């Protein structure tokens, strides 16, 4: 086969693959679990909130949590992991006003542990609820968000559910990269199969908002089973599956909101922090990106040169992104049309992440983060740095900011202290789909 025929075959096969991905995205959009309206929760719920230097966000997060409706028996346990920015003062004042809030402190993570798993493990030792809910400090729940998440857990019969918060992307850089988060698992992960299967490769979870049965969590070994994992959320779900449980990502668009970045530099540094671990090995990262390039970049280049097959592939990729955006509350147009550019940008960020990892220059919240990937199974493209967000300033209960806009009353993420939210040196949220890539950083 000569070069021209090979190129044509690659474009046609890539376009066909993009059409298949678009169809799968539509199927998953229809199958995605949606929490039912809130009903009173009759059991004790323990919310775990790990924080590290979160003075700019923790008050908003806790105010929303403590204002949750339909959860009569609630405890909120905050683990302050060595904050130096006044977070501790804010926590103590809030705890004085509300006896449901407990504040814990402790030592540095021991060898072999990362910050967030260590904080969560220590906090859960004090938890007394039959349901454990893990929340990041930069996520703000709707008034009925907690009750609906618990209702989804119990109503689905699953052991772990991860309601995916609505992701706000305001600037050009975020609008190019952030939509890949929701799109990746909605387009590439077979959701119903992921629920039933014990395979570690079929796992999707988001550490921003995790709801798990307490008995299943402890049966799986809790965060002690994933203490050194960069992708601790995905590895926690895998541990639950290994112990006989089931879990999956779900629709959390109406339950919570988060805002990660508002500029190129913080976005670049955040993604470069953990994409190396998401790939597992350089070869795996290259393979994942090659598949994405074959499906979505090659057809776009061919379309620009007049290829009809390439145009079909380009349109299919755009449709897939449109479906994901509309299903998860993101900005649909014209952002979806830039999907090939988004994939190329992901490739750059992945290469940068590996370079920084190999040179030992990755730090997060003042701690080095350069160890080997840990946990069972090989992480996929899908770890995500700590998000910056809030859901303050609602005009009425349940109302939301306009799609794609920052939550009102919060200020921009870049204007806040970047030492970040939570005790984690590797805040992550990931999707894993066999050999396919999933959630970026």
Domain range annotation of the chain:
31-263+366-441
Query: How far, in Å, CA of 214 to CA of 131, rounded?
Result: 5
Residue range 276-284: average pLDDT?
A: 83
pLDDT score, position 40? 96
Work out the percent of the chain whose per-residue pLDDT is above 90: 55
Residue 412 has pLDDT above 80, yes or no: no
For the ranges 233-237, 293-297, 397-401, the lowest mean pLDDT is seen at: 397-401
The SS3 call for residue 315 is helix
pLDDT above 80 for 144: yes
Mean pLDDT throughout 137-142? 92
Tell me the range of 39-48, 177-186, 201-210, 220-229 where mean pLDDT is highest. 39-48
In the numeric block, the tokens 């030992």 are attached to: 360
Mean pLDDT of the chain: 82
Q: H or E segment at 430?
A: strand 429-433
Distances (CA, A) of 395 to 399, 401, 410: 7, 10, 14
Question: What pTM, to 2 d.p., does this model score?
Answer: 0.82
Q: Is the distance from CB of 208 to CB of 387 less than 8 angstroms?
A: yes
Report how far residue 352's alpha carbon sits from residue 31's, in angstroms, rounded to the nearest whole number: 36
237 pLDDT more than 90: yes
Report the CATH number of the 31-263+366-441 domain.
Answer: 3.90.550.10
- Secondary element (H or E) of residue 166: strand 160-168
**pLDDT at residue 294 above 70?**
yes
What is the model's pLDDT at position 370? 60
Tens of pLDDT along 361-410? Answer: 887 777 777 654 443 333 332 333 333 333 333 333 333 344 344 444 34
């Amino acid at each position: 086969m000569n070069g021209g025929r090979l190129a044509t075959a690659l474009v046609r096969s890539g376009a066909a693959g993009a059409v298949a991905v678009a169809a799968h995205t539509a199927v998953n959009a229809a199958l995605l679990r949606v929490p039912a309206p809130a009903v009173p929760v009759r059991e004790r719920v323990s919310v775990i909130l790990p924080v590290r230097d979160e003075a700019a966000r923790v008050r908003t997060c806790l105010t929303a949590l403590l204002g949750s409706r339909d959860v009569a028996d609630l405890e909120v346990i905050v683990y302050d992991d060595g904050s130096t920015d006044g977070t501790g003062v804010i926590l103590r004042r809030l705890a004085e006003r509300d006896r449901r809030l407990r504040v814990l402190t402790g030592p540095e993570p021991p060898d072999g542990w990362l910050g967030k798993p260590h904080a969560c493990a220590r906090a859960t030792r004090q938890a007394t609820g039959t349901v454990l809910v893990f929340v990041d400090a930069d996520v703000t729940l709707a008034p009925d968000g907690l009750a609906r998440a618990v209702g989804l857990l119990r109503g689905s019969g699953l052991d772990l559910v991860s309601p995916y918060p609505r992701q706000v992307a305001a600037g050009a850089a975020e609008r190019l990269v952030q939509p890949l988060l929701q799109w990746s698992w909605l387009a590439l992960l077979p959701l119903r199969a992921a629920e039933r299967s014990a395979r570690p490769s079929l796992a999707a979870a988001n550490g921003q908002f995790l709801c798990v049965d307490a008995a299943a969590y402890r049966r799986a070994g809790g965060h002690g089973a994933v203490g050194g994992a960069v992708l601790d959320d995905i590895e926690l779900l895998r541990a639950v599956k290994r112990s006989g449980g089931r879990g999956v990502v779900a629709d959390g668009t109406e339950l919570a909101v988060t805002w990660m970045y508002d500029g190129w530099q913080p976005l670049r540094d955040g993604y470069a922090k953990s994409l190396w671990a998401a790939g597992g090995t350089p070869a795996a990262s290259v393979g994942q990106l090659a598949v994405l390039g074959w499906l979505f970049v090659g057809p776009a280049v061919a379309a620009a040169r007049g290829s009809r097959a390439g145009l079909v592939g380009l349109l299919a990729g755009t449709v897939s992104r449109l479906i994901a955006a509309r299903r998860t509350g993101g900005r649909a147009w014209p952002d979806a049309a830039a999907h090939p550019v988004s994939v190329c940008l992901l490739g750059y960020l992945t290469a940068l992440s590996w370079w920084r990892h190999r040179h030992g220059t990755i730090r997060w919240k003042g701690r080095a983060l350069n160890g080997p990937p840990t946990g069972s199974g090989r992480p996929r493209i899908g770890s995500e740095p700590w998000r910056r967000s809030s859901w303050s300033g609602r005009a009425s209960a349940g109302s939301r900011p306009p799609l794609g806009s920052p939550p009102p009353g919060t200020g921009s993420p870049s204007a806040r202290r970047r030492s970040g939210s939570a005790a984690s040196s590797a805040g992550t949220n990931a999707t894993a789909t066999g050999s396919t890539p999933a959630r970026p950083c």
